[in-house]
Amino acid sequence: MKHEWRKKEKKVYLPKTKPEIVEIPEFKFLTIEGKGSPQNKTFAEYIGVLYSVSYAIKMNLKKEEKRPSGYYDYTVYPLEGIWDITEEAKKAFTGTINKNDLVFKLMIRQPKFVTDDYFNEMVDQTKKRKPHPLLEKLKFEKITDGKCIQMMHMGSYDEEPRSFKLMEGFAEKENLLRISKDHREIYLTDFRKVAPEKLKTVLRFKVESK
């Protein structure tokens, strides 16, 4: 039976539109790091490279001889991003973020049976089939978020501060401290195809007890 994250991992990917505490275990990801505004043309290229290799991994696994131990069919996971601003921008911060000062790590989660060797093989295959210089920046990582506060944000990305304000207020009530100002976003809708007011984005940041 196909593993569909929307049905089987609702706690991770489909929170309610109000803050909640969640424990996020270790997952495997394809990742790529960059800097600048998501409105820049090059930003779409980062996303394209991630999806090229993610679908290469999935489609090649349809060949039985390629399947590693523990294989199961699955739906490709959604795009995620960890966002922060440059150190220079932090020092000069006045309350407003210039999007060109953003730094990001974009990623797509992979099933636990995917190995480093298989990742490297699929990157090499993609370089031959669909070459792109950003393929050199791809990494295969294990990431553990641990204890977090998350919620579903409905609407424009520019309106995310109102959701973060709710999340930080919730953290205060729960006697939890936000570890840093960076945060994770999980994109459940495609901003290229969906009106801003209908966007669905999971917002999440790490916390610890005070």
The CA distance from 57 to 7, in Å, is 22
User: In this model, does residue 167 exceed pLDDT 80?
Assistant: yes
What tens digit of pLDDT does each residue of 99-124 get?
Answer: 888 999 999 999 999 999 999 999 99
pTM confidence score: 0.94
The whole-number average pLDDT for the span 50-64 is 92
What CA–CA distance (Å, rounded) separates 60 from 70? 15
Position 192 pLDDT exceeds 90: no
**What is the predicted pLDDT for the residue at 96?**
78
Distances (CA, A) of 14 to 33, 75, 118, 186, 187: 25, 15, 29, 10, 11
pLDDT at 191: 82
Q: What is the pLDDT of residue 181?
A: 85
207 within 8 A of 190, measured Cβ to Cβ: no
DSSP 8-class letter at 134:
G
Tokens 């295969």: give the residue.
140
